[in-house]
Amino acid sequence: MKILLSCLLLLPSLMHAADLRALGKSSATISVLNMQPVPLVSSANKNGWARIPAFFSNNGATIFTPTASTNGVADIEVKADGYLFLACNWDYQGNQSGNWEKKSWTEKNFKSKGWDQLSKKDLGGDLVKNDNRAQTIFFKRVKKGENLRLRCNKYDPPYPILLTSKP
């Protein structure tokens, strides 16, 4: 009986892991204004990534990084249906000048718009920029033709992430 109960308690997390692996088989195709895709790998670069969760490392993730000023906004055009991940950070980045906070989404806003949040446990670690800012990861199935204008902070935009290899 104890073994059966233990197996039943593990079932939801195993199901969740299988669901996450399935997401990798169906990444969206996107373009992002003033951002370009680069492999999501650890780097000593000032704007690079200090820690990468196992889920992204194991699935060949690509992250979009700024090539020009984004003013803290990710302007995303969905070219083909699929799953899109976003890395967001709400650490302090400056005062309210410019009224940027009025256009900034909170975790609650993302969830109310159909974005699911992944935990450190789900991902097998934290995604952390070299400036020591840990990211909150969301995902959602997006549709071709959608245009998303997203903001979560004053300077750092939400960073779109796609899975490039099939688990």
Q: How many residues comprise the chain?
A: 167
Q: Got the DSSP string for the chain?
A: -HHHHHHHHHHHHHHHHHHHHHHTTSB-EEEETTEEEEE--B--STTSEEE--HHHHHTTEEEEEESS--TTEEEEEEEE-EEEEEEE--S----STTSGGGG---HHHHHHTTPEEE-HHHHTS--EETTS-BPEEEEEEE-TT-EEEEESSSSPPPEEEEE-S--
Instruction: Calculate the average pLDDT of the chain.
Output: 82
Convert the pLDDT of each residue in 86-144 to its tens digit.
Answer: 999 875 566 665 665 666 677 898 899 999 999 999 999 999 999 889 999 999 999 99
pTM for the model: 0.83
Number of domains within the chain: 1
Domain range for 33 is: 2-163
